């Protein structure tokens, strides 16, 4: 079997639906075709947008495959047909999409990785709120928890990330004119996710992420981003360790530490400590779930067995040259034993040669605020 060099991935990044990601991607596809490049459309989601649909004229489209699931018919991208066709470039809309159960790959980004491995270049689209490490921040600014996410390491596979920008006010004007959604859906969107303050915050995230992606690939300067030869990605001497427990807030802590590690060019580890004799299947299940989440983000995950949690963590950190430790302050989880807080204090006292960051569970703080707001008050006279 002939081996192909890996294909190149180009991501058109936006901060919300309607900024023009798909349109610009198809515009570039048309330019490629004009230059004689073999380009096909693997998947395109029109959303009823006439101008965008018009940009597909003359482009070869690979027919979608039909999938039956729970008595209903669905259409998915036919990755096997694309691999058999083997174009030079494939256009794939909606990168974060989750495939119908029973598909060969669970996520569309996994389909794309298969194409890249086969030597096919892929152009694709996504919004910033689908980046895994930003999931908690997006939920805080929008009030919406995005379920379809892409691990940061997948975005790092892209050879190019292009932000398709539009001011929030201009996007809202497009919504009001019915360019993005139908009038009924547009009105609902404006009253929820598409508030101007939310769009402004998401746009800022997208701008920062794009700047980071460009800097990571091309270097802000030879001394800051590149290695001593001027062509190797810069790696710092920092090494981060996330302390994982059964507390659900561990997931947000892993995201936060991994994002910091990626931005400073550091390695990241996730570590949990189990005491000998702790055989609670429920507790172990929670911890394993959090460690598997870390592994999916390409974070090295370990379980330590020790009767002394703090001592085990600090010894492991020193043995692995850890410079920063991230821990959660588990205020929200009343079922956690008090000694865990004592362990936090011990780690801070013992790891004076490291930076220890203890993070509040923001969900706990927000719940406390909601309870205060809901408390009965004296009616106005």
Mean pLDDT confidence for 295-300: 94
Higher-pLDDT residue of 231 and 183 is 183
Residue 39: its H or E element: strand 39-43
- Let me know: does 330 contact 320? Beta carbons within 8 Å: no
3-class DSSP assignment, residue 147: coil
Count H helices, E strands: the chain?
A: 14, 13
The string over 15-43, giving b where at least 16 C-beta atoms fall within 10 Å of a residue's C-beta and e elsewhere, is bbbbbbbbbbbbebbeebbeeeeebbbbb
Summarised one tens digit per residue, pLDDT across range 313-329 is 999 999 999 999 999 87
Q: What is the pLDDT of residue 361?
A: 62
Is this model's pTM higher than 0.85 or not? no
Q: What's the N-to-C CA distance of the chain in angstroms?
A: 84
Summarised one tens digit per residue, pLDDT across range 331-352 is 544 444 544 557 888 898 999 8
Q: What is the pLDDT of residue 229?
A: 36
pLDDT of 84 > 90? The answer is yes
Summarised one tens digit per residue, pLDDT across range 123-136 is 999 999 999 999 99
Summarised one tens digit per residue, pLDDT across range 236-294 is 689 999 999 988 999 999 999 999 998 888 999 999 999 887 667 888 899 999 999 99
pLDDT of 228 > 90? The answer is no
pLDDT of 145 > 50? The answer is yes
Distance CA 282, CA 279 (A): 9
Q: What is the pLDDT of residue 376?
A: 37
φ and ψ at 233, to 5 degrees?
Answer: -60, 140
Q: What is the pLDDT of residue 216?
A: 76
Q: Where are the alpha helices (DSSP H) in the chain?
A: 21-34, 50-54, 79-85, 108-117, 135-142, 152-155, 168-176, 183-190, 196-218, 250-264, 281-296, 309-319, 339-350, 362-374
DSSP structure class, residue 80: H
Q: Which residues contact residue 242 at a Cβ distance below 8 angstroms, ignoring those fewer than 6 apart?
A: 250, 253, 254, 257, 258, 268, 269, 270, 271, 294, 299, 326
Q: What is the pLDDT of residue 263?
A: 87
Q: What is the pLDDT of residue 275?
A: 84
Mean pLDDT confidence for 2-28: 90
Q: What is the pLDDT of residue 219?
A: 60
Cα–Cα distances (Å) from 36 to 31, 47, 176, 320, in that order, read: 9, 29, 39, 52
Cα–Cα distances (Å) from 109 to 207, 239, 270, in that order, read: 22, 28, 25
Residues in the chain: 381
Using CA atoms of 152, 82, 22, 96 in order, give the dihedral in degrees to the nearest 10.
-30
- Let me know: does 258 contact 133? Beta carbons within 8 Å: yes
Q: What is the pLDDT of residue 369?
A: 44
Distance CA 306, CA 67 (A): 49
Domains for the chain: give ranges and CATH numbers: 9-218 (3.40.50.300), 239-365 (3.40.50.620)
- Let me know: does 279 contact 157? Beta carbons within 8 Å: no
Summarised one tens digit per residue, pLDDT across range 193-215 is 888 889 999 999 999 899 888 87
State both tokens at 210. 């794009």
């Amino acid at each position: 079997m002939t081996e192909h060099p890996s294909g190149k991935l180009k991501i058109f990044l936006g901060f919300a639906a309607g900024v023009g990601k798909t349109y610009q991607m198809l515009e570039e596809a048309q330019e490629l075709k004009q230059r004689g490049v073999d380009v096909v459309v693997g998947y395109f989601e029109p959303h009823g947008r006439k101008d965008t649909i018009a940009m597909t004229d003359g482009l070869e489209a690979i027919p979608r495959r039909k999938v039956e699931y729970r008595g209903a018919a669905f259409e998915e991208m036919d990755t096997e047909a694309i691999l058999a066709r083997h174009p030079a470039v494939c256009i794939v809309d909606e990168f974060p999409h989750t495939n119908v159960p029973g598909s060969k790959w669970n996520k569309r980004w996994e389909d794309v990785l298969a194409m890249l491995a086969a030597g096919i270049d892929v152009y694709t689209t996504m919004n910033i709120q689908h980046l895994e490490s930003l999931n908690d921040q997006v939920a805080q600014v929008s009030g919406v928890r995005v379920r379809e996410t892409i691990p940061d390491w997948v975005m790092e596979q892209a050879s190019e990330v292009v932000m398709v920008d539009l001011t929030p006010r201009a996007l809202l004007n497009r919504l009001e004119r019915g360019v993005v959604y139908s009038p009924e859906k547009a009105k609902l969107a404006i009253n929820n996710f598409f508030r101007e303050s939310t769009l402004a915050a998401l746009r800022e995230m997208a701008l920062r992420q794009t700047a980071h992606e460009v800097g990571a690939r091309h270097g802000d300067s030879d001394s800051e981003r590149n290695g001593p030869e001027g062509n190797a990605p810069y790696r710092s001497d920092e090494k981060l360790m996330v302390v994982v427990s059964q507390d659900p807030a561990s997931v947000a802590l892993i995201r936060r530490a991994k994002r910091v590690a990626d931005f400073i060019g550091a390695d990241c580890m996730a570590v949990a400590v189990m005491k000998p004799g702790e055989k609670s299947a429920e507790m172990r299940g929670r911890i394993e779930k959090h460690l598997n989440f870390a592994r999916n983000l390409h974070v090295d995950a370990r379980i330590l067995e020790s009767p002394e949690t703090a001592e085990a963590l600090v010894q492991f950190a020193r043995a692995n040259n850890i410079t920063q430790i991230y821990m959660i302050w588990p205020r929200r989880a009343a079922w956690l034993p008090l000694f865990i807080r004592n362990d936090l204090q011990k780690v801070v006292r013992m790891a004076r040669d490291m930076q220890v960051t203890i993070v509040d569970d923001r969900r706990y703080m927000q719940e406390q605020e909601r309870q205060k707001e809901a408390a009965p008050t004296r009616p106005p006279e």
